[in-house]
Amino acid sequence: MGQTPIGPYEIERRLALGGMAEVFVAQRQGPHGFSKRVALKRILPQFAGDPDFVSMFIDEAKLAARLQHPNVVQVFDFGEHGGELFLAMELVSGTNVNKLVRTSTLKQLPIPLDVALYIVAQTAAALRYAHHLTDDQGEPLGFVHRDVSPANILLTDTGHVKLTDFGIAMVRQRNPRTEDGHVRGKLGYMSPEQVMGKPMSDRSDVFTLGSVFAEMLMGRPLFGTGKELDVLVRIRDADIGALHKAEVPRDVVKILEACLNRAPEQRPSARELGEVCDEVRRRRGMSHGPERLVRLLKKVGLVEGGVSERPSRPAAFVDTSVLSAEAARLVDGVGATSPAIYWVRQEDSEVGPMSYPKLVELITAGTVDRETFVRKEGGAFEPAFALPELTRFVTSVALQWQALEIEGAERTGTLQGIQLVGPLFEIMRDRRKGVLHLWEGERRKKIYFVDGKAEFVASTDRRELLGEHLVASGRCLRMEIEMALALLPRYGGRIGEALVGLGMLRPVELFRAINEQVRERVLEAFRWRSGRWAFVADVESHEETFPIGGTRFTLLRDAVARAHPDELEAALAKDWEKAIRLVETPPVAAREFEMPRSWIEGLAQVEGGTTAGALLSRAVTSGADLFDVYRALFLGMRTGLVA
């Protein structure tokens, strides 16, 4: 391979060069075709005879041998060749945080918050493990990494995070100073106590990890660059003024302020920091993990492979609901909530402040309309239609709830639960276009039909909102809905598009969910026991629609299937003694309803001249399911299958 072997390792190429050592990509061959590629580290030749460097290298090897954790680079071998020491380590395919920050900044592609939180949480897991290491007698080693810098946080091409370079790590048995009195560590990534040469603890690593966290979000080093003395002074004073000037979410700033506290005892532990990062991701619905990291690395060109544009469902998240007291304190109030910046004028009073999602909910419920005066923080009251972020809602025909909408209604009637089957059947049978209004007091619902198919349903009941349906059906977590609601303005007020855009739903999942929601909203109408209905012809919703799949008549079948037997019995009572027969050529063929076999068998018992009462009596005698006969008979009589 062109270079002199080091012990049993063939050298492929040099991977990195540091101040004290160099790292190679190497390969060890074994019997029967065995081969293992590693990262081989050795002291630079000019320092190979320096006792201090040699001692540190040996200490690193001994310490690294103790570290067995998925977020720590593993050490496989330690040896000597030609009087030079070498260390064989896990070869990590990927990049590091330093390159990610620099490349992302150069390409003007900021590191997303969820990716930064994930990287910090995984690094904190490595530190938590190392901080709790014990010696052979079970005594704590007092481990401090002392070099938690962007270059030492490796990012694999599979989206995993690994901490490396324990060359200057401190344990109880090791002195944090060299004989010349210099404190080791990278400029810009030290703690105040490290800069001042004071005793260090595990909280020093939390400080430096916090500075890396801030750098990922800011796109530049937290303590700046330039003259070394200026940087060291800013670290000594824990001067995080640059953080407060950056566009970092306030809840995350709270966490960073805790990590970057000048007093070590006021900082969270690595465990608490990891818990907090995972909890923020959980509350914000950011449970993407490795997949999101890989996607970013590919997007900025740090690992090979294209970027798929299809968002995927987040991976399952470990339950972190049981937090330590410190972690719970840090995330108190954290959540992806939209700021409460709106006030609504109602008669002589003002209601507010309220968030954007809450205001939208009031519009969809009919409490606020286009003429209602709304004030945004810092502004004056003006009609809702004058606020661009509300335009989509206050101008939507489907979301208006005015009495004049039912003027010119073609038909009207009283709502009596399952009796709504008759009017809906006629709309479906005749392939009508229009809107069916339902109202009872302040409660409203509108079902829009095109070619006899229900394609859009508007409701004033918040329980019927798409977000509520997604939670109830298990497609989304409550926190994911809250995050999407907070970002509604960015997605034109459409929560479905927000969920897809955030990678929480695939487009096909959204399509299916909306299809189900429309169906459920229609079926809910059959539970109204009082109120009125009116059908207005030739009216369109002008909303993006997803017509219900299958034949239009299966909706009626499902409505009857859900009806209580007592309701069906009461509905059939007036026809109890009426002679009934099967219609030879019904207006809609029986197969269009896709009825269960038991229903079909029940209808088959209808004979010329028999009555509904006699048919039900025979069903009891024959052992047939009486309720299924009720359902089949009611559906048949209301849809022209039975006359």
How confident is the model over 444-491, as pLDDT tens digits?
999 999 999 998 999 988 888 888 888 888 888 777 787 788 777 777
What mean pLDDT do residues 371-389 have?
A: 89
Give CA separation, 236 vs 216, 258, 417, 482, in Å.
21, 16, 73, 40
Q: Are 166 and 63 in contact, with CB atoms under 8 Å apart? A: yes
Nearest partner of 208 among 231, 188, 228, judged by Cα: 188
Summary mean pLDDT of the chain:
85
Which range (143-157, 162-176, 426-440) has the least confidence?
A: 162-176
Q: Are 227 and 220 in contact, with CB atoms under 8 Å apart? A: no
Nearest partner of 522 among 399, 426, 436, 589, judged by Cα: 436
Question: What is the C-alpha to C-alpha distance for residues 334 and 276, in angstroms, rounded to an integer?
Answer: 10
Alpha helices by DSSP H, listed for 378-506, are 391-394, 421-429, 466-472, 478-486, 495-501
Q: Which amino acid is residue 320, in one-letter code?
A: T
Q: What is the pLDDT of residue 549?
A: 62
pLDDT band at 337, cuts 50/70/90? low
Question: What is the C-alpha to C-alpha distance for residues 590 and 600, in angstroms, rounded to an integer?
Answer: 9
3-state secondary structure of 571: helix
Q: 335 pairs with which residues across the strands?
A: none
Which range (278-292, 312-326, 604-618, 624-638) has the least confidence?
A: 312-326
Question: What is the C-alpha to C-alpha distance for residues 403 and 405, in angstroms, rounded to an integer?
Answer: 5
Q: What is the pLDDT of residue 308?
A: 44
Nearest partner of 61 among 86, 92, 25, 36, judged by Cα: 86
* Number of other CB atoms surrounding residue 345 within 10 Å: 15
Residue tagged active-site, from 59, 77, 114, 147: 147
Q: What is the pLDDT of residue 180?
A: 41
Q: Which helix (H) or strand (E) holds 42?
A: strand 35-43
318 vs 233: which has the higher pLDDT: 233
With a cut of 80, say whether residue 551 has pLDDT above it.
no
Residues 6+ apart with CB under 8 A from 59: 174
Q: 35 pairs with which residues across the strands?
A: 29
Q: Classify each residue of 221-252 as buried b or exposed e, where b means 16 or more C-beta atoms within 10 Å of its C-beta.
A: bbbeeeeeeebbebbbebbbebbeeeebeebb
Residues above pLDDT 90, as percent of the chain: 40
Q: What is the pLDDT of residue 185?
A: 59
* Number of other CB atoms surrounding residue 281 within 10 Å: 22
Enter the tokens of residue 465: 């909102």
With a cut of 70, say whether residue 338 has pLDDT above it.
no
3-state SS of 347-382? Answer: CCEEEEEEEHHHHHHHHHCCCCCCCCEEEECCCCCE
Is pTM beyond 0.85 here?
Answer: no
Active site residue 147: yes
Q: Are 54 and 78 in contact, with CB atoms under 8 Å apart? A: no
